[in-house]
Structure 1
Amino acid sequence: MTSINIIGAGRLGQTLAYLAQASGRYRIGAVLCRSLPAAQAACGFIGAGTPLCRLAALPAAELTLIAVPDGEIARVAANLAQGRFLSPGTVAFHASGAGEAALLAPLAAQGVHCASLHPAFSFADPARAVVDFAGTRCALEGDAAAFAALQTLAAALGGVPFLLAPGGKVAYHAALSVASNYLVTLHDLAARVAASAGIEPEVATALLGDLMCKTLGNSLALGPAAALTGPVVRGDAGTVAAHRRVLSAADDALYCALGTATLRLAATRLDAEAQAAVAAVLRD
C-alpha cells in the first residue's frame, strides 16, 4: 500500500486524501495543518492519518501532496528542502491550477520527483466533492519520473489523468477560467439585458438556461464554428446595430468585444461585404 502525506488539509486536501484512503490503495500518513485542531478535524473527515502541525514531525512517505494556498507552495517547498524532510526518489506534488511544478524546485534539487496534479473540479464542500469527483480530468505536468505514480493516484481517486505540454500550465488554467468564469459573466450579461426587456427573473432563468445549455451542447458536439448561429454569422448588421441601441454603455462595450470575436469565428461563412458591414457596426 502506497503511503501519502498531506500538507495543507483544506477542502482540496481533505477531498483527495479521503478518496485516496477510500480506494484501499493508499495509506494516509501525516495530515499537517497550521494548527493541531484543524489537522485533527481533517483526519476526522478523512477517516485516517496522524494530525500534525510541525514539519519536523513529518514521517517518511512515498508521496507528498502540498495542498496549501498557491502563494504558500514555494515557501513550504523551501522549508521542506531546508529540513531535508523528503527522501530522494519520492514524489512531491502540488495541486495549483496555474502554478507549475517549478514551485517545488528546492525539492527537485535534492532528487525528489516534483510535479503538479490539478483536478479541474470545484472543491466548495469536501462532503459533496467526494461524491461528485468521479470522472474529473486531472492535469499533470513536471518531472516525467513522477507521472506513473500520479497517473495511478488520479485513477484511484476516480479521476482521468492527462499530460500537459511543458510550459503549458498557465495557458491550461486560462482556458479553464474562460470556460468557467466567463460563462458565468455571459449569463449575467444576458440576464441584465433580459431584465431590461421586462422579463421576470424566474422566466429569464429558465429561458436563458435552456438556451445556453443547448448551445453549449451543440458547440461541444459540432465544434464552435459549426454551432454558431445568430445575427453576426448571418451578416445581419441591422440587427446588431439594433441590439447596441438598447444596451448600457458598459454592456455595449462587452457586446462589441464579443461580437468582434464572434465575427472572426464566423469569417469562413460570410463574404467580405457582409463581414465589413458587421465590423463597421461593431466599431461605430
Structure 2
Amino acid sequence: MVIPTANSLPARPTLGFIGAGRVARALAKAASDAGYRVEVVASRRIESAQHIASTLPECAVLPLERPGDMHAIFSRADLIFLTVSDDALADCAAHLAPQAGQALVHCSGASEVGLLAPATRSGGQIGGFHPLFLFAGLDDDAARLSGSAITIEAEAPLNEILQRFASDIGCRPLSIPAGERMRYHAGANYAASFLLCLLDEATHLWKAVGLPESDAREAMWPLVMGTLNAARERGLSGALAGPVSRGDAGIVTRHTEALAAMGGNHATLYSLLTLRAIHLARQRPNADNAALDAIARTVAPYIPPATPERDA
C-alpha cells in the first residue's frame, strides 16, 4: 500500500482529464461511480467537456483556448489522464509540468510513455493506462468497461495507484514493459478492428454468391458469437473448427481455387489465415501433423515467399 507523503500521490488521488472524447467520457464516469472525485475536464471542445462534466458531481470545465492554458489543470487535480490523439501527446507534454505528488498519464496503446518525459521537469510522474476496450461513444460505455483488461506502464508509486484504480473501476490491470507498445497495440488490433475486417471479408464472399448484404450480416452473428463463446470456454485451439481442424486438405484446395478465381487477394488472405489455423491445430493433443503438412503445401502457392509457416 502506498503511504502518502508530501512528495507522493495520494493513494486515492483526485482526477482530471485533458481531452473530452469517448475515452474520457467513459473513464470519468467509471471513476466517479467507483467513488473517485473527477475535479475537472479540459478541452478545446467546450461543449464536449461540459457534457462530460454534467454527468459528474461538482466537476469543473477548463476551456483550452491556447496550449499554455492546460497547465492550470494541476491546480485542480492530482492525477491527470491525457485522453487526446496520439499526434497531440508530445505537444501536450511540453505544456504540462506536474509537481512532485502529481502525475500525468496517457491512455494511448500505441505511443510510448517516454513521449511524456518533458512533463517530468518539475518532479511529477508519468505513465500509461490503456483500456483494452472498444469505446463506442454509447451511454453505457462506462458500465461495459467493467471486466476489461487495462495495460499499465509506470514506475512506483504511480504504478500501484494506477493498478488500484483499474481494479476499483472493475477492470483487470496488466503490465507491459517499456518499449513494447507497438507490438502490444498491433496485437490489440487483431482482437478489435481486424476482427471486423475478417467479418467484412465473409460478407463480401457471401454477397458474391448472391446473398443480400443484410442477410449475410445477420447470418454471421450466431456463428461469430458461438465461436467466441467456445474460445472462451475451451481456448483458441480447442475451439478451432472447419477443414483445418479436421485435416481436410481437399476442402482447403477447393476453397483456395474458388477464391483465386475471383481475383484480388482473397486466396492470399485465406491462405495466410490457414497457416495460423494450422498453428492452432498443432497445439491439440493427437494432432495429425501429416495432414496439417499437406494443408500447408496446399496453400503455399498463394502465400508470398517471405511468409513461411514457421512464422505463424
Task: Name the TM-score class by shorter chain.
Answer: 0.7 to 0.9
Q: 2:72 aligns with which of 33, 50, 57?
A: 57
Cα distance in 1 between the residues matched to 2:141 and 2:72: 29
Paired position in structure 2 for 1:245: 257
The one-letter code sitting in structure 2 at the alignment partner of 1:4 is L
Q: CA deviation at 1:231?
A: 1.8
> Would you say the 8 A contact 1:14–1:126 is kept in 2?
no
TM-score, with structure 1 as normaliser: 0.86
| 1:245–1:149 CA distance, 2 compared to 1 (3 A) | same
> What does residue 13 of structure 1 align with?
24
Task: Name the aligned partner's letter for residue 31 of structure 1.
Answer: V
In the TM superposition, residue 147 of structure 1 has moved relative to its aligned partner by: 1.5
Q: What is the CA–CA distance in structure 1 between the aligned matches of 2:295 and 2:203, rounded to whole Å? A: 24
Which residue of the partner structure matches residue 288 of structure 2?
270
User: How has the CA–CA distance of structure 1 residues 56 and 263 changed in structure 2, closer, same or farther, with 3 Å as cutoff?
Assistant: closer
Report deviation, 1:141: 1.0
Match of 1:254 in 2: 269
The question of 1:119 aligning with 2:137 is answered no
2-side partners of 1:27 and 1:147: how far apart?
A: 19
Q: Which moved more, 1:165-174 or 1:197-206?
A: 197-206
Show the counterpart of 1:32.
42
2:162 is the counterpart of 1:150: yes
Partner residue of 1:104?
A: 116
Q: Which amino acid counterpart does residue 63 of structure 1 have in structure 2?
A: L
* Residue 35 of structure 1, CA deviation: 4.7
Query: Displacement, 1:126?
Result: 5.0
Instruction: For 2:279 and 2:171, locate their aligned partners in 1 and report how far apart those are by CA, in whole Å.
Output: 35
Q: Is the 8 A contact 1:6 1:66 kept in 2?
A: yes
Distance 1:236 1:61 in 2: 61
The equivalent position to 1:282 in structure 2, one of 299, 302, 307, is 299
Structure (1/2) with the larger helix percentage: 1
Match of 1:131 in 2: 143
- What TM-score results when the alignment is normalised by the length of structure 2? 0.79
Aligned partner letter, 1:175? G
Q: What is the CA distance between 1:240 and its match in structure 2?
A: 1.2
Aligned residues: 278
Q: Give 1:33 shift.
A: 0.9
Name the CA distance, whole Å, in 1 between partners of 2:82 and 2:289.
54
State the alpha-carbon separation in 2 of the partners of residues 36 and 223 from structure 1. 46
SS of structure 2 residue aligned to 1:122: coil
Which amino acid is the alignment partner of residue 85 of structure 2?
Answer: P
Query: What's the CA shift for 1:63?
Result: 0.9
State how far apart, in whole Å, the 2-side matches of 1:200 and 1:21 are.
45
Query: What residue number does 2:3 align with?
Result: none
Give 1:9 deviation, angstroms.
1.9
CA, structure 1 residues 277+16, in 2 after alignment: closer, same or farther (shift >3 Å)?
A: closer
Match of 2:228 among 202, 216, 220: 216
